[in-house]
Amino acid sequence: MKWLIVAVTVLALATPLAALEIEGAYVALISPNPMEIEPDNFYTFRFHVQNDSQDAEWLTNIHITFPDNFTLIGASMGFVEIDVGRPSFDMIVDGQTAQWNDNDGGYGEIYDTEGTEVFIDAHVPACYDCGEMYWELWGDIYGGEPHYVDGIIDLCPSPVEAATWSSVKALYR
């Protein structure tokens, strides 16, 4: 299938400023709401993973690193299928990092413009106050760079945001 895309890309290369990268791919926390995370509790952390590659680069690996002292329950991690048998991932926990890794070789598992959900149960430490998560997405090294993108998920709502949220809620009381 990708040969078709190669042909299209060759045409696209003739166009100046064609972006051939996975810039724009991202990981977002769906739940729980960071403002509702309490110490010494278990949660199923659900993430949306979006591949907004501007060329036909597909994602092979998703790594999400939790804050120190969070305990990741690898036995209860998973993902939502996009198509039958896809994505095809091995799922492992390496220290604080949950990984969904392409396990069938070839090209990546999440095609451009596609998104999916990944999830993992984790225990929040008793000492938890706030923190941040770090994510990485790996592309299948197709076309131009970057083939890796990363970012941070802030679990610490600022006082300003918290105040704003309270005022919004107050409107509905």
Write out the residues near Ca ion by the rule CB under 5 A.
20-21, 55, 57, 102, 104, 106, 142-144
Angle (CA) 40 42 43, round 5°: 130
CB of 80 to Ca ion, least distance (A): 17
**How many Cα atoms occupy the beta-carbon half-sphere of 153 within 13 Å?**
25
Structure tokens at 55: 């060329």
CB of 51 to Ca ion, least distance (A): 11
Nearer to Ca ion, 85 or 95 (CB): 85
* H/E run at residue 77: strand 71-79
Nearer to Ca ion, 6 or 30 (CB): 6
CB of 140 to Ca ion, least distance (A): 7
| Neighbouring-strand partners of residue 47 | 29, 118
Nearer to Ca ion, 144 or 157 (CB): 144
Nearer to Ca ion, 66 or 89 (CB): 89
CB 37, CB 124: distance < 8 Å: yes
DSSP state of 40: T
